[in-house]
Structure 1
Amino acid sequence: MSYVALYRTYRPKYFKDVFGQKVIVQTLQNALLHEKFAHAYIFSGPRGTGKTSIAKIVAKALNCEKAPTAEPCGECAVCLGIDKSSVSDVIEIDAASNNGVDEIRDLRDKVKYAPSVGKYKVYIIDEVHMLTQAAFNALLKTLEEPPKYVVFILATTEVHKVPATILSRCQRFDFKNIDTADIEANIKKIVNKERLKISNEAINAIAITSEGGMRDALSLLDQVVSFTKDEISEEDVYKVSGGLSRRFISELLQTIYQKQPQKALDFLNQVLQDGKDISRMVSDIILALRDVLLDKIREDKKYPELNGLTPPLIYAYLDILNELQQSLKYTTSKRAYLELAIIKMMNHQSIEYVELNQKIDALQKEMHNLETRLRSEVQVKQVESSKNIKVQSKSNLKPLVTVSEISEILNQGDREKKNLLKIGWPSLADYEVPQLRGVAKLLHEGSLEAVGANRMLLVYDDIITAQNMLKKETKEKVLKIINSKKQLIDDYTVLLKADWMILKDDYAYQYNAGISKPKLKEIDLHLYEQDEDSIQEVKLEEDPLVEFAKASFGENLVKVEE
């Protein structure tokens, strides 16, 4: 007996065997079971997604001796006859080769004859979009009002070419590409039955290469089986299909990222000698870059070795490859265009721009960290040292702000009031009332971090400004500004940024742990009342910021300008 291709051997014979078209199958089964089947259907969608197979299953279910049924029995004479294509009541017409008006007129004349074996005559017209306009016109009336025992099922991969007059007379089902997981599951089932040796990576490669078509997947499996005598590997699949293996794409992208042009061109020469199609290669690289981008957000990474490729760089690569795809359609020098694109992916100005931005981002982050560390250390020096300012013993001073006050404000957080204040915050930089403009500017320099029931929390970088903001006369002006249009708060307090970061982290940790009203741990907030009687006059010395800069960078490199 001659060999039968795998896609024909394992063509679905029951609805339960169909992959990837769950909604369509369920709708048709319900219609069959409740005898509410329409007289004409159009199945549209990509090749190899089950359109003709489902049409034959429908023909069996309609004529099955156990009808009405949601699934043909597959055992009665009619079901077996339809499987063998020996039942004259199921007529398959290839519109690609029978697309003239004469063939359709012949069909129209024969429609009036009753079925000879089953209950229905089922006409399956494949690639119906290939019919001529005259043929469509001849089909119109019959398609709209056929005899009650006739069902038309039209299948097409290009539904946009079917006239609207035909579409309006049919129930339309749009088939979708079959998921890669479904194709893999079917291939595994088949290789187990056929006792084939094949790796999971090869099965995945076949499923991806088939691009959602089950027939294409099984045809490729057939080819690969014929190609190799040993266990089928991923490399075998790509050799037969003309695609690029994951290993090759990974190595090529790494050489591009590392700017090794000669090595990249050697890789290209190697695969081009194997007869790979250049357009297909470009498509494979684009799909791989898509996977690298998705690897940023998923746990099961396909290209972990390419984790160094940043999204901006990937987008730049994709722009170059998309431009290459368009150029390949209109040139005979495809290899030259591909090689130029590879060089461009290493040296093009868009790539240099991305790399420059990455360096700038890294420098900005480093500068921010240095600035934060420097500011924090200077604040400590400003508070703890007695240089350039009048100081007094902390044990004798009353704190201007306490941790319990901060806890209260955070636990009474009023988000709406905070958002309302935030809206007007930018206008403080250029306040319209001259007498309050200076205080408004100081207020604008602060960061509004929280608003409680009637108090707000401001955060400042330096201790001098923070102390000024806590003075009674300053508070009066601030509250006058804040409440100028509507009474929003009665009071406010101030923190230094370094202290706020500690308290903020503590509050977030407790809140995330499930504590609804966190109690912050006590720390020194460095802000105290200045008691004039106990102030000790201290010798004016060098500014602590200048002293710190000299200690950090060397006295010769620091220049102080008045």
Structure 2
Amino acid sequence: MSYVALYRTYRPKFFKDVFGQKVIVQTLQNALLNEKIGHAYIFSGPRGTGKTSVAKIVAKALNCLEAPAKEPCGKCDVCLGVDRGDVPDIIEIDAASNNGVDEIRDLRDKVKYAPSIGKYKVYIIDEVHMLTTAAFNALLKTLEEPPKYVVFILATTEPHKVPATILSRCQRFDFKNIEMDQIEENLKQIINKENLKITPEALTAIARTAEGGMRDALSLLDQVVSFTNDEITEEDIYTVSGGLSRRYINELLKVIYLKQPQKALDLLNQIIKDGKDIARMVSDIILALRDVLLDKIRPDKKYPDLKDIKPNLIYAYLDILNDLQQELKFTTSKRAYLELALIKMINHESIEMVSLEDKITHLESDIVKLKELVNKAQVSQEAVKTPVQNIPASRPTNLKALVTVKEIEDILNHADRQKRSLLNRGWPVLKDYDNPSLKPVAELLSEGTLEAVGNEDVMLLVYDDLYTAKTMLNPEIKQKVLEILNQKQKLVRDYTVLFKPDWMILKADYAAQYNAGTSKPKLKEIDLHLYETLINETKSEQKVPEIVEFAVEYFGKEKVKVEE
């Protein structure tokens, strides 16, 4: 005897065998039991969810010799004949290949003949949406007023293509995708009957890959059984289906999260070499991100290695992948689009914004560390006792501010993220600058952090050490810094510098206003601790050593005592 595919072998023959369509089954059973049979039904829903199988069960129950009953007996001659497919009163029509008006006219002519064996003639028209407009028109009258012994069951995966005039003449039942646990339960029963060996992970992978279709699940199981003679593993499922295994997805998302574009592209190249379908890959990654998100609230985690990915970042990834899914439908360069999407997930502006928001959430811990930085910089005891948000904005009258809050405000309100990203990529090489005359300045520059670049090409640098910050504002140093940065192309026109504790205060103020909805925040005035001394021209003064000048500026003249 020739081999019969699993989905045909285990096709439901009774209502009790139908999975995932409880409401539809109960409604049809009650109608059969109470003999309230409609003259026309339309079964709509995704592929592989049981539309045609239920239609055959209805046809069998209508003609069963034990009718009326909730289930066909499965033992009488009519039931056995329907199972074999040799009952002439059950007519199956494939509308995809018989979609013309002539076929429907032939059907209309034969409808008037009474059933030869059972009580009803049942017409099951599969993929009914494929009928032409003329064919639908030819079917209208017969569908509305068929002989009392005729029942029409129309099945379709695209009900929106069926004319409203047809829909209004039928009782409509919408089949839904079958839940994963129900698919797994049915597969377990079949696997036990077939004496197959399969891991629990592989069983779950089949149910997930089937996407709600029992027929797809059985077809995939059939295919994998032919692929391997040993125990079926999760890797076997993804190899046969063309999907991505959890191992690949875990590794790919990890290098994306760690912002390693070259590793991501190398891994993608390896995956494509294995013959994976790109559209399927994108779908698998989206489902994996959903699982990573659900891992935040469930104890049994599917992707424990990805637990550090924040929800906002997952949403940003999903937005990029959803856009990619749409683009893949209309392009022949699928690989190029996927590669670009991976780069977007690493470096795109939306990802940078999420990273910025993530950094803002850590501002509280940064401010806690502020006291340590203040102590390290030897701020006066009075300054330490003053809460950071209330540091006075006033300064001694004999000092001129080298940096103002307004300058910082302008830079932040007109920030150029692309320019900042470009400059930051070259920051690590400053320590190994090869020009001997500029190397000390390059090393000094590398000690700072580039926090922003204004739209007029003005950089904002931040230093942990106040003395170094002031040194960077020296005109001679500034000239050399600009020479280093603009060596190949003009990137920076000027820059300003902040002491890190002051930057933390301004940053927190800016973030609070921005998150509250202010597009261009106005920063509160604070003391930025960077001045140059104003020389009194009315009397000659002995030149003060630079270290003494620095001490006077920062701690106040009354607290500084110079001993020869």
Deviation at 1:104, TM superposition (A): 1.0
CA distance in 2, matches of 1:560, 1:154: 91
CA distance in 1, matches of 2:63, 2:123: 13
Match of 2:253 in 1: 253
CA distance in 1, matches of 2:174, 2:138: 25
Match of 1:278 in 2: 278
Deviation at 1:560, TM superposition (A): 8.3
Aligned residues: 383
In the TM superposition, what whole-angstrom CA distance separates every residue of 1:158-210 from its partner, at most 9, and x where no partner exists?
11111111111110000001111111111111111000111111111111111
CA distance in 2, matches of 1:82, 1:35: 20
Amino acid at match of 2:239: K
Match of 1:330 in 2: 330
Amino acid at match of 1:91: I
CA distance in 2, matches of 1:145, 1:174: 23
Amino acid at match of 1:245: S
Partner SS, residue 146 of structure 1: coil
Deviation at 1:228, TM superposition (A): 0.8
Match of 1:43 in 2: 43
- 1:101/1:369 CA distance change after superposition, 3 Å: same
Match of 2:55 in 1: 55
Match of 2:340 in 1: 340
CA distance in 2, matches of 1:158, 1:340: 33
Partner SS, residue 92 of structure 1: strand
In the TM superposition, what whole-angstrom CA distance separates every residue of 1:488-545 from its partner, at most 9, and x where no partner exists?
xxxxxxxxxxxxxxxxxxxxxxxxxxxxxxxxxxxxxxxxxxxxxxxxxxxxxxxxxx
The within-5 A match list for 1:117-266 is: 117-266=117-266
Match of 2:72 in 1: 72
CA distance in 1, matches of 2:223, 2:92: 28
Give the unaligned 5+ runs of structure 2: 375-381, 387-550, 559-564
- 1:560/1:275 CA distance change after superposition, 3 Å: same
Partner SS, residue 71 of structure 1: coil
Deviation at 1:109, TM superposition (A): 1.2
Amino acid at match of 1:234: E
Amino acid at match of 1:76: C
Deviation at 1:28, TM superposition (A): 0.2
In the TM superposition, what whole-angstrom CA distance separates every residue of 1:20-77 from its partner, at most 9, and x where no partner exists?
0000000000000011111110000011000000000001111111100000110000
TM-score (normalised: structure 2):
0.65
- 1:170/1:556 CA distance change after superposition, 3 Å: farther
TM-score (normalised: structure 1):
0.65
CA distance in 2, matches of 1:557, 1:174: 79
Taking only the aligned residue pairs, the percentage that are identical comes to 78
Deviation at 1:325, TM superposition (A): 2.4
CA distance in 1, matches of 2:25, 2:238: 33
CA distance in 2, matches of 1:129, 1:122: 19
Amino acid at match of 2:246: R
CA distance in 1, matches of 2:118, 2:349: 70
Q: Runs (4+) of structure 1 moved beyond 3 Å?
A: 368-371, 555-562
Match of 1:101 in 2: 101
Partner SS, residue 2 of structure 1: coil
Amino acid at match of 1:24: I
Deviation at 1:326, TM superposition (A): 2.8
Deviation at 1:103, TM superposition (A): 1.1
Amino acid at match of 1:26: Q
CA distance in 2, matches of 1:28, 1:345: 49
Partner SS, residue 232 of structure 1: coil
Partner SS, residue 169 of structure 1: coil
Match of 2:530 in 1: none
Alignment partner of 1:356 is 2:356: yes
- 1:364/1:77 CA distance change after superposition, 3 Å: same
Partner SS, residue 80 of structure 1: helix
Match of 1:432 in 2: none
Deviation at 1:336, TM superposition (A): 2.2
Partner SS, residue 300 of structure 1: coil
Match of 2:33 in 1: 33
- Tell me how large the CA RMSD over aligned residues is: 2.3
CA distance in 2, matches of 1:213, 1:145: 34
Deviation at 1:367, TM superposition (A): 2.7
Amino acid at match of 1:158: E
Match of 1:466 in 2: none
- 1:115/1:560 CA distance change after superposition, 3 Å: farther
Match of 2:112 in 1: 112
Amino acid at match of 1:20: G
Alignment partner of 1:312 is 2:316: no
In the TM superposition, what whole-angstrom CA distance separates every residue of 1:107-134 from its partner, at most 9, and x where no partner exists?
1111111111111111111111111111
Match of 1:433 in 2: none
CA distance in 2, matches of 1:323, 1:164: 33
Deviation at 1:299, TM superposition (A): 2.8
CA distance in 2, matches of 1:292, 1:176: 26
Match of 2:3 in 1: 3
Partner SS, residue 361 of structure 2: helix
CA distance in 1, matches of 2:554, 2:210: 67
Partner SS, residue 184 of structure 2: helix
In the TM superposition, what whole-angstrom CA distance separates every residue of 1:428-472 from its partner, at most 9, and x where no partner exists?
xxxxxxxxxxxxxxxxxxxxxxxxxxxxxxxxxxxxxxxxxxxxx
CA distance in 1, matches of 2:57, 2:326: 42
